[in-house]
Amino acid sequence: MIKVSIVGGTGYTGVELLRLLAGHPDVELSAITSRAESGRSVSDLFPNLRGHFDLQFSEPDVNQLSESDLVFFATPHGVAQAMVPDLLARGTKVIDLSADFRIKDIAVWEQWYGQSHACPEVVSEAVYGLPEINRDNIRKAQLIACPGCYPTSVLLGFLPLLREGLVAVDDLIASSASGASGAGRGASVNNLHTEVSDNFKAYGVSGHRHLPEIEQELAGLANGQVELTFVPHLLPIIRGIHSTLYSTLMAGKDDVDLQALYERYYTDEAFVDVMPGESYPQTRSVRGANICRIGVTRPQGKQKVVVMSVIDNLVKGASGQAVQNMNVLFGLPETRGLMAPPLLP
């Protein structure tokens, strides 16, 4: 059994991680921490987990956490930095669901997150945890930086095009829309039901924190710098991300069979489903599941390639991907504990 602990288990990614681990046959949850909820039972805060965990939230303690084989951090940015170096020094593996270790350029991270990085020396050790592009490195990692939700949908959508050098890299566009759970569990007027319901809006148009992360990883796929226009939107739903991606075919690439290309790239990937030709994915088709569904087309046969990529932002966009990383890290079947079908309706 893999002995795991969770730091910061009171948010949406924390409870989703608990839900997934409750059905994982190879995991023993030994501790879950929260300073605000210390002493409170997990099932008291999350009644859906009643009967699954007999645990109370506790104060985070490095000595206790280091007794685990793996520690998940489901915390806001900046929190994991205080404890990760000590845990790594004691030989404990870490999967961080925050943005603390995703961006390799420390100055860029500090610019976008508005604070000094507390352990910049550790960032170079972190492996970016998108198994579909980084599986071999994840197997050998001690620290895994779990990708953001928007980046996951965008990267998986653009991957085949960039790997094959089929599209211009100086004009990539991602128009992405997320459910309200992507904003977290904290109280906010903008996230009230009466503000979100019956509404659709863009936000972060001048710059979103996921932009440098996406550009960094797209550049790795393209073997060179890329230019991305990224516009996020808020959907009046709880879960789900729909990213519509636009790019332009390079000269001489008109004869490429995009459908065959995507099917070939993802044929062995358990968690990426390429839709049949002229069939497009919907957010409800991935709700509650660790699946990315992708549709690809060339409208009117012109030079623009349109890719539609959908995920559940709390599963493949966060906690499910974290469990997928854990499975790879510990040599388990990658699908272990993650094969429940999506919820419908």
Residues with catalytic function: 149
Q: Taking the CA atoms of the chain, what radius of gyration do you get in angstroms?
A: 20
Q: Cα separation of 72 and 324, whole Å?
A: 12
CB within 8 A of 222, min separation 6: which ones? 162, 165, 169
What's the length of the chain? 345
C-alpha dihedral, 326 to 329 to 330 to 336, nearest 10°: 40
Q: Cα separation of 321 and 319, whole Å?
A: 5
- Distance between the two ends of the chain, CA-based, in angstroms? 34
Biggest alpha carbon–alpha carbon distance for the chain: 64
Residue with tokens 């272990």: 336
Strands 304-311 and 292-297: antiparallel
Of 336, 164, 130, 341, nearest to 247 by C-alpha is 164
On whether the CB atoms of residues 243 and 154 are closer than 8 A, the answer is: yes
Token digits of residue 127: 């492996």
Token digits of residue 108: 């860029």
149-163 and 258-266 are packed helices; what angle lies between their axes, rounded to 10 degrees?
120
